A and B are shown apart, each in its own frame.
Chain A
Amino acid sequence: MATVSEADKAGRNHLPGDGNMWVFVLGDLVIFGGYFIIFMIYRHQERDLFLESQQHLSLTVGVVNTLVLLASSWFVATSVQATRAGQYQRAIRLTVIGGGCGLVFLAIKAYEWTSKIGQGYTFPSNDFFMFYYLLTGVHLFHVALGLLFLGVTFAELRSPKLRRVSMVETGATYWHMVDLLWIVIFALLYVMR
Chain B
Amino acid sequence: MSVRLPQAARSTTVVWAVLSAITVVSWWLGPAHHSGPPAPSTAITVAVLALGLFKARLIIRHFMEVRTAPLWLRVSTDVWLVALWGGVLGIYLY
Contact = CB atoms under 8 A, between A and B. Distances in A.
Interface string A22-35: 10001001100100
A123 interface: no
A55 B60 CA distance: 30
A13 B70 contact: yes
Contacts of A8: 8
A54 B68 CA distance: 38
Contact of A186 (B26, B41, B44): B26
Contact of A70 (B16, B27, B80): B16
A67 B20 contact: yes
Q: Which bracket fits the contact residues of B?
A: 35 or more
B52 A187 contact: yes
A90 interface: yes
B92 A44 contact: yes
A41 B91 contact: yes
Interface residues of A, number: 62
Contact of A192 (B48, B56, B63, B67): B48
A8 B68 CA distance: 9
A77 B55 contact: no
Contacts, number: 163
A176 B63 contact: yes
Given A14-B68, A47-B40, A73 B63 contact: yes
Interface of A: 7-8, 10-16, 22, 26, 29-30, 33, 36-37, 40-41, 43-44, 47-48, 51-52, 54-55, 58-60, 62-63, 66-67, 70-71, 73-74, 76-78, 80-82, 85, 87, 90, 169, 172-173, 176-177, 179-180, 183-184, 186-188, 190-193
Given A188-B88, A191-B30, 20 more contacts: A10-B68, A11-B68, A12-B67, A12-B68, A33-B87, A36-B88, A47-B40, A63-B24, A70-B16, A71-B20, A74-B16, A78-B12, A82-B2, A172-B63, A177-B64, A180-B60, A183-B55, A190-B26, A191-B48, A193-B38
16 contacts: A33-B80, A36-B84, A44-B92, A44-B94, A51-B39, A54-B31, A60-B32, A67-B24, A70-B20, A81-B12, A87-B4, A169-B65, A176-B59, A176-B63, A180-B56, A183-B52
Give 7 nearest A-B pairs by CB, closest first: A187-B52, A59-B32, A74-B16, A40-B91, A59-B30, A176-B63, A16-B65
